[in-house]
Structure 1
């Protein structure tokens, strides 16, 4: 079977260009003006809601999909907005709404938080994914589909 006739399924290696946009056309990420991305379907590196749109496609196909928040980064969770004391940000010169700050999670990893609001000595930090609650437009240009080869 030639590689051009293979369809994307779990365990396949796919090389593609992609663009991720908001519904208003604002671009979030794209490889169309750079090197294409190569990924393995089913390895967990691409959210399942995006991966499912690739299944069954073949090299040479160019498609655009709308991905609902539930299949992308979910709906915002109000429990992910935390109120903290202003004194916890003593090392930050000026806090402004919309500013992204880095926090350490329980495992010691990096967790971004967005300053949602400031009231007196209280600061609200939103730990929801910045794209939570957004319907996204996922455009793909499939360049190559091939089985994974074990070296």
Structure 2
């Protein structure tokens, strides 16, 4: 039976849980598993190392520190914008997640964290940055 090794194409279901046990994300909800190639850089090295050696049908619970999951919050990812830039029907409220155009034209999500007068603070860090998480994985296919 094939086991996960470097350059393996792996299809798997995952559930990401926070410290309090709440589910942050799950492929089960969408009914569509994730697929990646080990070593392609889409996951942290530590997370990939935890998958090595697993076979089809294996289930594993992996505790990841923030650095190995979604990284630590980067102060450079917090931007201050003029409230006048927010036009249209969308409400500008703390906690709102909005899509912004990045320098490369790609859309990047930002969460509004503070509004002070005409200044709106937007955090472009991943919503799970700085949090330790548990990944529960179930290996469906290894090619």
TM over 0.5: yes
Larger radius of gyration: 1
How many residues are paired up?
142
Query: Residue 74 and residue 35 in structure 1: after superposition, are their counterparts in 2 closer, same or farther (change >3 A)?
Result: closer
The corresponding residue for 1:36 is: 33
Matched, 1:59 2:59: no
CA distance in 1, matches of 2:107, 2:76: 19
Runs of 4+ displaced beyond 4 Å: none
Aligned pairs (5 A) from 1:1-151 = 4=1, 6-32=2-28, 34-146=31-143
- Normalization by structure 1: what TM-score? 0.84
Please list every run of 5 or more consecutive structure 2 residues that lacks an aligned counterpart in the other structure.
none
CA distance in 2, matches of 1:31, 1:93: 29
More divergent stretch after superposition (39-48 vs 104-113): 39-48
CA distance in 2, matches of 1:35, 1:124: 35
CA distance in 1, matches of 2:137, 2:45: 15
Give the C-alpha shift of residue 145 in structure 1: 2.1
Give the C-alpha shift of residue 55 in structure 1: 1.0
- Normalization by structure 2: what TM-score? 0.88
Give the C-alpha shift of residue 87 in structure 1: 0.7
Q: CA RMSD in A?
A: 1.7
Give the C-alpha shift of residue 93 in structure 1: 4.1
Query: Residue 92 and residue 124 in structure 1: after superposition, are their counterparts in 2 closer, same or farther (change >3 A)?
Result: farther
More divergent stretch after superposition (123-132 vs 85-94): 85-94
CA distance in 2, matches of 1:48, 1:30: 21
